[in-house]
């Protein structure tokens, strides 16, 4: 069975990426063989389409409500044959895998489409394409078209498998607002060495970029009555912060976990600014406070803390997490004299009395602090951590137990280490906009970006925008007016753009936010939020945690398989 053609075609327009992977396979044997289509896609992406074409007959994937798909195909699900189509394969990726039997000398074409909104982190956007054909491919290419009306500030392409020979197969053409990246290696260039029929192509192909920013109130794009507003101010001073690291050092953290936590904390200590305040609380079957109050991040205090971190070891049984009263007491020692942001970081592997803890945490935090939860490995109640973090203005992240776990911890801290704005309100004319996505934000971090989208329901010439926020030292009010006709014109002549991309971006963002809100909502509210997200998922053909794609196969095989969207919480 030979893959004779593998094309990855990706169009990125104003951060929204639309990727189509097409694999053409021929059975050169004189008897039936199994052809497999296996691709990895970003966890943040939603699959929107899949089809198999065998000898001219097309077998499409059909997106349905998850519950009804599972009822309808209960037999396939109960035999366990439907669960394997999509699974999480790592920190950033999930795998789509389907196999089909093809007759002697027959051909099959697989086509998978997915979409995602690229998220700005640490000052750049990242488009990740996983490359793993497992054999030499006669016609192999990755074709990326990028269009950013704001202009490209920088652009770089690299991969984990690039050699001097493969570099010759890569071309990159760039103008003020556009880029075209083509990677088209010949069979000889793909070989590990001339004698062996083994491929070099195994790893990540990554495009990173950022856009130019002129307007202080951000940038607005408009297509077919839908708008998206990007806001990422730069050169603002950072707020000093109060940060408490709450570290689980029970026996479950023994070995590599506690070593990597120590490595990450030592690096994080070096990143604290002199005006920051910090503290440590550790727990196993008892709670230990490093100091009775937060200390300023002077060179002397940081050195003393480094000594404490280096002495951390994991032992002891039952986890007894510190009460939030203990943490609050720490924070109050400085927050009375510093009107600044407060943070709590938690690195823990499990809990007891989940509902009680959640309620105690919520009451203790009372909207004043952001809670960030990091869960090490898979023996962690991630659902609990995620709910706690999202209920308290923060984020949750699973730390994968790989060699780079310390870098994962450190990287997460870097993302949220530099708050530049708080209490951000993005205001639009209420009577002229509907379906507005989240427009109030607790914090904005250096290197990230706020995105708001909605539908313009009246015939306007101008779309006025007002942003109110607090920066370190002053209150900000920024105003902007977008000329709707001019904005619509920007995309008129771009032949490779899928026309309704801002509408699809709006739907993608709305679904993501509804699902996120549902995690920390009460039962009644959760059902209403999920119903809205489900309706949009079906309307725009997205495979989300609420929908499934049913894949039909030719007669004589396991007739139906179901592709579900896995979530980090399982």
pLDDT band at 79 (very low <50, low <70, confident <90, very high): very low
Residue 156 has a pLDDT of: 96
195 within domain boundaries: no
**Contact in structure between 334 and 293 (CB atoms under 8 Å):** yes
- The alpha carbon dihedral of 492, 498, 500, 501 has a sign of negative
Burial track 308-334 (b if 16+ CB lie within 10 A, e otherwise): ebeebebebeebebbebebbbebbebb
C-alpha dihedral over 421, 425, 465, 146, to 10 degrees?
Answer: 60
Q: How confident is the model at residue 16 (pLDDT cuts 50, 70, 90)?
A: very high
Tell me the β-bridge partners of 142. 8, 183
- Give domain status of residue 306, yes or no: yes
CATH number at residue 380: 3.40.50.410
pLDDT at 310: 94
Q: Which residue's entry shows tokens 């509804």? A: 514
* Helices 405-415, 256-271: crossing angle, 10 deg rounding: 30
* Closest to 229 measured CA to CA, from 535, 530, 436, 489: 436
DSSP state at residue 347: E
Q: What is the pLDDT of residue 328?
A: 56
Q: What is the pLDDT of residue 339?
A: 42
pLDDT per position as a tens digit, 244-299:
888 888 887 888 888 888 888 998 999 999 999 998 988 887 878 898 888 999 99
In a domain, 265, yes or no: yes
Q: Is the pLDDT of residue 177 over 80?
A: yes
Residue 409 belongs to what H/E stretch? helix 405-415
Confidence label for 365 from pLDDT (cuts 50, 70 and 90): confident
Residue 157 contacts residue 172 (beta carbons within 8 Å): yes
Residue 458 lies in a domain: no
Using the predicted structure, report yes or no on whether residue 3 has a pLDDT greater than 50.
yes
User: In terms of Cα–Cα distance, which of 543, 546, 548, 551 is closest to 532?
Assistant: 546
d(Cα 321, Cα 285) in Å, to the nearest integer? 8
Per the structure, the complete domain to which residue 368 belongs is given by 241-417
Exposure string for 56-81, b = 16+ CB within 10 A, e = fewer: eeebebebbbbeebbebbeebbeeeb
In degrees rounded to 5, what are phi and psi of residue 55? 45, 45
Which tens digits make up the pLDDT trace of 505-536? Answer: 999 999 999 999 998 888 889 999 999 999 99
Q: What is the mean pLDDT of the chain?
A: 86
Tens of pLDDT, residues 200-213: 999 999 999 999 98
> What share of the chain has pLDDT > 90, as a percent?
51
Contact in structure between 115 and 127 (CB atoms under 8 Å): no
pLDDT band at 84 (very low <50, low <70, confident <90, very high): very low
Q: What pLDDT shows up at residue 326? A: 58
Which range, 83-92, 444-453, 553-562, has the best average confidence (pLDDT)?
A: 444-453
Position 393 in a domain: yes
Q: Is the dihedral of CA 16, 235, 338, 275 positive or negative?
A: positive
Residue 314, domain member (yes or no)? yes
- How do beta strands 46-54 and 107-117 pair? antiparallel
Tokens read off for 185: 């290696």
| pTM of the predicted structure, to 2 decimals | 0.90
| Structure-model confidence comparison of residues 369 and 274, the more confident one | 274
User: For 124, which DSSP code?
Assistant: B
Instruction: Give the number of domains in the chain.
Output: 1
- Of residues 100 and 529, more confidence is placed in 529
Question: Is residue 203 a part of any domain in this protein?
Answer: no
* 41 inside domain: no
């Amino acid at each position: 069975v030979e893959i004779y053609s593998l094309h990855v075609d990706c169009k990125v327009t104003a951060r929204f990426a639309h990727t189509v992977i097409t694999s053409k396979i021929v059975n050169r044997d004189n008897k039936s063989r199994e052809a497999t289509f296996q691709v990895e896609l970003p966890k943040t992406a939603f699959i929107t389409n899949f089809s198999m074409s065998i000898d001219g007959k097309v077998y499409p994937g059909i997106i349905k409500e998850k519950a009804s798909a599972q009822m309808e195909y209960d037999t396939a699900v109960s035999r366990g044959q439907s669960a394997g189509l999509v699974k999480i394969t790592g920190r950033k990726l999930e795998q789509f895998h389907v196999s089909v039997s093809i007759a002697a000398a027959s051909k099959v074409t697989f086509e998978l489409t997915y979409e995602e909104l690229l998220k700005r982190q640490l000052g750049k956007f990242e488009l990740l394409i996983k490359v793993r054909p497992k054999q030499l491919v006669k016609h192999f290419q990755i074709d990326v078209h990028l269009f950013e009306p704001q202009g490209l500030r920088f652009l770089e392409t690299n991969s984990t498998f690039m050699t001097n020979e493969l570099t010759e197969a890569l071309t990159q053409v760039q103008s003020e607002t556009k880029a075209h990246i083509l990677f088209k290696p010949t069979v000889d260039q793909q070989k590990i060495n001339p004698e062996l029929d083994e491929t070099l192509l195994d790893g990540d192909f990554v495009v990173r970029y950022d856009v130019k920013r002129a307007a202080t109130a951000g940038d607005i794009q408009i297509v077919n009555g839908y708008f998206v507003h990007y806001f990422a101010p730069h050169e603002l001073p950072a707020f000093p912060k109060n940060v408490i690291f709450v570290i689980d050092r029970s026996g479950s953290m023994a070995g590599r976990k506690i070593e990597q936590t120590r490595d990450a904390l030592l690096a994080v200590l070096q990143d604290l600014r002199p005006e920051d305040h910090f503290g440590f609380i550790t727990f196993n079957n008892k709670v230990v406070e490093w100091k009775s109050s937060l200390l300023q991040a002077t060179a002397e205090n940081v050195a003393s803390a480094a000594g404490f971190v280096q002495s951390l070891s994991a032992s002891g049984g039952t986890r007894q997490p510190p009460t939030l009263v203990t943490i609050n007491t720490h924070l109050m020692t400085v927050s009375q004299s510093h009107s600044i942001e407060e943070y709590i970081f938690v690195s823990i592997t499990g809990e007891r009395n989940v509902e009680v803890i959640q309620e105690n945490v919520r009451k203790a935090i009372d909207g004043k602090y952001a809670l960030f939860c990091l869960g090490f490995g898979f023996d962690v109640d991630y659902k609990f951590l995620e709910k706690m973090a999202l209920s308290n203005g923060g984020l949750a992240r699973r730390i994968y137990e790989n060699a780079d776990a310390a870098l994962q911890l450190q990287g997460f801290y870097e993302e949220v280490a530099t708050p530049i704005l708080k209490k951000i309100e993005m205001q639009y004319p209420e009577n002229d906009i509907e379906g507005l996505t989240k427009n109030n934000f607790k914090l904005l971090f250096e290197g990230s970006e706020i995105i708001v989208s909605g539908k313009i329901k009246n015939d306007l010439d101008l779309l006025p925008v007002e942003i109110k926020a607090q920066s370190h030292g002053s209150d900000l009010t920024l105003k902007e007016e977008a000329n709707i006709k001019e904005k619509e014109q920007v995309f008129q002549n771009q032949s490779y753009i899928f026309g309704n991309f801002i509408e699809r971006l709006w739907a993608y963002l709305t679904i993501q936010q509804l699902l996120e809100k549902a995690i920390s909502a009460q039962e009644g509210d959760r059902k209403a939020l999920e119903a809205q997200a489900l309706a949009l998922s079906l309307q725009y053909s997205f495979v989300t945690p609420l929908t499934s794609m049913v894949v039909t196969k030719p007669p004589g095989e396991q007739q139906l398989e179901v592709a579900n969207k896995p979530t980090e919480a399982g």
